[in-house]
Structure 1
């Protein structure tokens, strides 16, 4: 039987820990199924260089502020480029040629049996600043098989001006799976398309044993509370500091930028990619507003508190509902009952994940054909 070759487009180049790790998991999953896998070296224009990232970050700022903030961000972005590029080169089968624009994809060589839109926020028009056609495999001819695996829309409703384009793109897919129940509802109800499957994020599709290979020993001898925070929120900081104090734990902050050193907690400054998994695996508690930090906490059976961000909260609500852990969502910043309600028994959540993993593999077997 011929080995299927599958080429994946996802967001492994956005310098986000979860984005990189979901790509690693996706590669492992397809290889485990006997496929030959590679990834398109797709780089969103706003992530194509440190200069472009600073320009995007500071686009709404005045001249002096733009210069100052850009100056402060430069070392962070350079450090991220070095760390992420090295990790991807070592661990992911990425094609050499870089593709950024629709124009670049006009010369894209079609050599694989299947093309796949991968996980992460590939279909989130807010995050991607529009409907990016390459992420909907617009460059792949009609006769070539197209699938999606755990793609994310992120929000609970598509805007009117993106409905038609999104519907037309998705009609070309042979098999569609998404990682949120809300995304399934959008495609079925707003777009009127059927046969959409809700699957786990790839980082959950692989189990704890897979991720433990990246972990090593703990960086800390004493128990610690880990903050992984993507959105500025002073109440989040105050709560985490008081929670750690009441637990009698060291407070550690996973800093994705150098300027976060001034926030509460011992700073882990732009750590290595594997430290994302390691710090979560050994934490007493993870306090986070991140989907992937929540997903890894569940998968590594680490006690956690989930704080929903102001937007894209559907991803967090979906995974907590799936595994029956909605109670880990912090609603009131004066609620410190979590101090005495440590989550130790993940038996129910683990059993649900095992069932959902089999559902995910069933989808992929059919999708690959």
Structure 2
């Protein structure tokens, strides 16, 4: 079956975004499907950009469409060190022959596929600057299957406008699954019966699978040190961030590798995607405010703390709490710096056998959902 995936893919520094896309594609290809990503750009209207920015954007679209270069728009303006995201996309992600910048373009000349899948990531979060409507797949032939896999809304409650969007669009889906448990009731309230709660695509693979799927190198740590990896995103503020960083960096015998992204410039390293996985695999302890950073701590059975979103982004904590509650890992969330709790969590032994068994059972739910949806 030919499957077109609608998800987020443009980032040049958000590791989780690319790894969830890679994971879903890889799983579907292992099942024998022909998989590609719809090259849809989630960007502000070009009318709001300078003439130079519009020209750069047009050049990138031309190169992508005519030479299959898989360049991201951010390449034209990015000034941070290169993390190798563009070659990763070129090697591991196959894209649609043409690019799209609006829902109108998707409707006028839709990508050809037997099925469209939206998800994972927060494709149904309608609070972002770019509306979520294109990710409800309202384009293409009526005979094309429309499936949501682990689509994330990222919040517990919808605005009246977004609730109406869900009511209009979910009726067109052949199968719906969501990433957060609370999203089940949102879908049923919108009139869709029997949505399924499934794991993020990255959880479709266990630790050893990931080490086999990508050329994961050893983490760049000194052998004799206690290895701490920090991964922070700048799209929300972190309570007591400097207190956490100062305390960890002052620990004797500790080596800290800190990757940051999404506007956070506090990091000291810029790993490629396989290197990022290597840092997690080799670390003794990890601190992050990233959902996917937390997910890979769980996959690799690492000691960790998760720092929740605050301020305007506090509602996005649902994707974190939904997962850690399922696995009884609530104690790993810290809402403010607490030295005693920090010390305890750095030594805490999680019952990883229980967690791994829970993940294995949940994978079976995902496998069954996708098998039935794609028949």
TM-score range, shorter chain: 0.7 to 0.9
Residue of structure 1 equivalent to 2:326: 322
**2-structure distance, mates of 1:336, 1:240:** 15
Structure 1 portions without partners, runs of 5+: 53-72
Deviates more, 1:106-115 or 1:85-94: 106-115
Greater Cα offset, 154-163 or 220-229: 220-229
Q: Which residue of 2 aligns with 1:13?
A: 10
Map 1:1-369 → 2, pairs under 5 A: 4-15=1-12, 16-46=14-44, 51=53, 74-76=78-80, 79=82, 83-127=84-128, 129-189=129-189, 191-213=190-212, 214=214, 215-221=216-222, 222-231=225-234, 232-233=237-238, 235-246=240-251, 248-256=253-261, 260=265, 263=266, 267-268=268-269, 270-310=270-310, 311=313, 312-341=316-345, 342-345=347-350, 346-369=352-375
SS of corresponding position for 2:233: coil
Instruction: Report deviation, 1:95.
Output: 1.9
TM-score scaled by length of structure 1: 0.84
Mapped to 1, the partners of 2:251 and 2:86 lie a distance apart of: 39
**1:296–1:47 distance in 2 versus 1, CA, 3 Å:** farther
Distance (whole Å) between structure 2 residues aligned to residue 95 and residue 19 of structure 1: 18
* 3-state SS in 2 of match to 1:229: strand
Aligned-pair distance for 1:30?
0.8
Q: SS in structure 1 opposite 2:250? A: helix
Contact 1:246-1:339 at 8 Å conserved across structures: no
Range with bigger deviation, 99-108 or 236-245: 236-245
- Alpha-carbon displacement from aligned partner over 1:229-285 (angstroms, at most 9, x marks no partner): 11343612312331453474122210337972xx4x7x10x3212222111111111
Q: What corresponds to 1:57 in structure 2?
A: none
Contact 1:304 1:343 in 2 (8 A): no
Go from structure 1 to structure 2 and tell me whether the alpha carbon gap of 1:176 and 1:229 turns closer, same or farther (over 3 Å shift).
Answer: same
Q: Secondary structure at the match of 1:168?
A: helix
Q: Does the Cα contact within 8 Å between 1:23 and 1:119 map onto a contact in 2?
A: yes
- Which runs of 5 or more residues in structure 2 are unaligned? 55-76
RMSD over equivalenced CA pairs, Å: 2.6
Asked if 2 retains the 8 angstrom alpha-carbon contact of 1:5 and 1:113, the reply is yes
Aligned residue pairs: how many? Answer: 339
Q: Structure 1 CA distance, aligned partners of 2:140 and 2:170?
A: 12
Moved more, 297-306 or 42-51: 42-51
* Secondary structure of residue in 2 paired with 1:319: helix
Tell me, yes or no, if the aligned pair for 1:45 and 1:101 is still in contact at 8 Å.
no
TM-fit CA distance, 1:140: 2.4
- For 2:250 and 2:111, how far apart are their aligned partners in 1? 57
Using the TM superposition, give the Cα deviation of residue 10 of structure 1 relative to its aligned residue in structure 2, in angstroms. Answer: 0.6
